[in-house]
Amino acid sequence: MRWLYRIRQFWSALTAAPRSEDLFEASKTLSPALMRLFEQMHPGEQAHSLTVYRRLRDQGETNPDLLAAALLHDVGKSLYRLQIGERVAIVLVKALLPGCAKSWGQGELSGWKKPFVVAEKHAEWGAQMVAQAGASPATVELIRRHQEPVRLDARLWSADRQEEHWLVRLQSLDNES
């Protein structure tokens, strides 16, 4: 049941906090300007991003663009802090009424739709933030597209489609964590 998974994921995000050794690892991966953005994120989002990052590293990933995107893919959420009730609403509506969550996310950034707008638009905001902080074009694009539905046929993987391969990996680990 996907909604039970989402509730567990949500609870984990509320109670998680990054470990100091993980923060040190992030500081070795990110430039000082990008690390400042990472530090603006909610501790639960930092912990989630570090989990995605660690899983990539455990799989042998060394590409700095993908690793930076793993750490910063949710940084756009730091622009608009959400209350716990708003975060619960996002999780429940996405699990039970995903079409409504997407539709409401196209609205104005105010009132009861605000959390859905943040959930829907944080990828674009994050991409703009990391671009201004000097991230590589590949990192910017991975963050911008990390919520896009992408399915890449393994037969089509080639060197010129490497970023799509990275995107699929980032999305997969983001959805598992």
**Sequence spans of domains, the chain:** 2-176
**pLDDT tens, position by position, for the chain (177 residues)?**
555 655 666 666 666 788 889 999 999 999 999 999 999 998 988 999 999 999 999 999 999 999 999 999 999 999 998 888 888 888 889 888 989 999 999 988 889 999 999 999 999 999 999 999 999 999 999 999 998 877 655 545 444 577 888 888 898 888 876
CA distance 171 to 148: 9
Tokens 């590949």 correspond to what residue? Answer: 138
Structure tokens at 145: 């597209």
Q: Which residues of 101-130 are buried (b: 16+ CB within 10 A; e: fewer)?
A: beebbeeeeeeebbbbbbbbbbbebbbebb
- Tokens matching residue 27: 């500081």
Looking at residue 8, its pLDDT comes to 65
What residues contact residue 16 under an 8 Å CB cut-off, 6+ apart? 43, 44, 47, 48
| Residue 175: count of CB within 10 angstroms of its CB | 11
d(CA 29, CA 23): 10
pTM for the full predicted model: 0.85
Nearest Cα neighbor of 84 from 11, 18, 16 is: 11
Closest CA to 125 of 111, 95, 98, 105: 105
